[in-house]
Structure 1
Amino acid sequence: MAPVPLAVTTSTKVDAALVREARAVAARWGLPFLPRRSKEGIAPWFGVKADALVVVGGDGVTLWDAEGSFAFHAGMAHLRRMRLRDGEPDAFVRVAELRPGDSVLDCTLGLAQDALVASLAVGPGGRVVGVEKSLALAIVAGEGLKRYELGADSGPIEVVHADAHAYLKTLPSGSFDVVFFDPMFAKPKKAQPAFEVLRRFAEHAPLTPEALAEGRRVARRWVVVKGARYTDDLKKLGLQEEPGSRFTDVVWGRIGPVSGP
């Protein structure tokens, strides 16, 4: 039999509770569950049982393939949230003009770094929906967020596994305050091995003018796009770079909404 593209299993410390949790993860995302014996290695499974595995352990979920692994981690988002709580500015919050009670649609969720910042900016009365085309990354983010303590000052983050353009087409006009796109940078810098695993599973298609137009229909205030400095990412979409720090590789563009047809 050919290997399945993606499956769920447990870590090496197998017990009944962990098996139940792993089976629940598999059921939530419609994936097969592969039982694992205690201390059994998964390296021989790749290309035989599965191409990639979501491993459920006591410390959360980890995405594995034959070349490495990647786990959910709040990373810089945790630091950004701390700074935001201390009253320091955040580029995303500033450009999107996020405020308490807002609804935000993150069309390129990835590992939810910007969604985590948005959840704090919009507060408990707000809402953040993150759309992720890659099933593997949607699972890592979705399960990771279940285990991350957002705090009473943050709004919920809902994870949707879908193609963002197709998902936008299903939404009524003006249904979110802010629509956000963060396409995977076409020219990556050298990164840690774990990030390379993420890059292998991530969606690499550029943001299209058609998807941007749908975002403008859905947004009430702004469509915000993150790009890479020293590229024409924003220019290709007819966006101007917003003023910001020159000491970062990230640039921001935004455009207002349009009325529906």
Structure 2
Amino acid sequence: MIVSTSARTNERLEEKARQAAVELGCPFVKRNKRSVASLQAEYGADCLIVAKSRLEFYASDANEPFFFHPNSASFRVKRLLRGEIDPFIEAAGLQPGMTLLDCTLGLASDSIAASYIAGAAGRVVGIEGNPVLAYIIKHGLSEWESPLSDLNEAMKRIHVVSGSYQNILRSLPNQSFDVVYFDPMFTKPILASEGIAGLRKLAVHDELIEETIQEACRVAKQRIVLKDHYQSSRFSELGFKQHIRPTSLFHFGTMEVEKKESGGSVTNKE
């Protein structure tokens, strides 16, 4: 991958692009009025463009860029402000002041909704396995300006960590988060999902395994949540209670964890 700036650039943008290149460990290339397609052809690489208002990722095999946008999260926060139910918040049992570890951050829509509910007294940490996607989302969350102040505050409170959720889970203390959440790439893709096409190039396709769930049970105080296609076998294979939503193509699964005070062993509540 290479990093460059938008066609209309300035010293500030160039400095920001150079910093992105350093942090991501890839070359910075001056734009020099060339098109993105020309840069991609010359260097044979994907391209991250630092523009005035956002970061844009151009995959070498895609026609449109991927960039951060709160998308559905803005509608979800508005519904929550009106006192309506959000299926993820309900499945996670989130309340003000609680903590959530989102192991598969992606576009951060669920983390944004969680951050709004958890509030300033709570904490939401999102892990993203692809360093480029983590960089784009981290900067988008901190820099995006919405007319909705509650949305802006929720986005800015999210702490983004780049790395393997398997390794990070193993490094965390027992009972360090109220809820641990997984939203892996669906076993059956929902092709109509908005924004998913741009995400697939950057998505991490690690399979969720029993060992990881056991680590999540150790780290969680209350609950593990899984989001997946309604026909996914992960719910039953990994021991989650699947919550049926007849009109939705994706369901949530939950696993309650009960900590024994003598050493923190884990049992799953039925």
- Normalising by the residue count of structure 2, what TM-score does the alignment of the two structures yield? 0.87
**Match for 2:60: what amino acid?**
A
- Deviation, structure 1 residue 7: 2.8
**Alignment partner, residue 252 of structure 2:** 252
1:65 and 2:59 correspond: yes
**Alignment partner, residue 9 of structure 2:** 14
**Alignment partner, residue 43 of structure 1:** 37
Q: Is the 8 A contact 2:169 2:216 kept in 1?
A: yes
**Match for 2:133: what amino acid?**
L
Counterpart Cα distance in 2 of 1:218 and 1:46: 43
- Deviation, structure 1 residue 92: 1.0
Q: Is the 8 A contact 1:122 1:154 kept in 2?
A: no
Relative to 1, partners in 2 of residues 1:109 and 1:250: Cα closer, same or farther, differing over 3 Å?
A: same
Counterpart Cα distance in 2 of 1:67 and 1:195: 15
Cα deviations by residue, 1:185-205 (Å, 9 ceiling, x for unpaired): 122133479632311220112
Relative to 1, partners in 2 of residues 1:40 and 1:260: Cα closer, same or farther, differing over 3 Å?
A: farther
Counterpart Cα distance in 2 of 1:117 and 1:193: 17
- Normalising by the residue count of structure 1, what TM-score does the alignment of the two structures yield? 0.90
- Deviation, structure 1 residue 206: 2.0
**Alignment partner, residue 217 of structure 2:** 216
Q: Is the 8 A contact 1:103 1:128 kept in 2?
A: yes
Q: How many residues are paired up?
A: 254
Identical columns (%): 34
Cα deviations by residue, 1:55-97 (Å, 9 ceiling, x for unpaired): 1101201111122221111111110011011110111111111
**Alignment partner, residue 3 of structure 1:** none
Q: Which stretch shows the higher mean deviation, 234-243 or 110-119?
A: 234-243
- Deviation, structure 1 residue 48: 4.6
Q: Where does the alignment leave 5 or more consecutive residues of structure 2 unmatched?
A: 146-150
Q: Is the 8 A contact 2:67 2:136 kept in 1?
A: yes
Pick aligned residue for 1:97 from 76, 93, 97: 93
Relative to 1, partners in 2 of residues 1:204 and 1:260: Cα closer, same or farther, differing over 3 Å?
A: same
- Deviation, structure 1 residue 152: 4.4
Counterpart Cα distance in 2 of 1:119 and 1:103: 9
- Deviation, structure 1 residue 15: 1.1
Counterpart Cα distance in 2 of 1:108 and 1:80: 19
1:133 and 2:129 correspond: yes
Q: Is the 8 A contact 2:96 2:118 kept in 1?
A: yes
Q: Where does the alignment leave 5 or more consecutive residues of structure 1 unmatched?
A: 1-5
Counterpart Cα distance in 2 of 1:18 and 1:249: 41
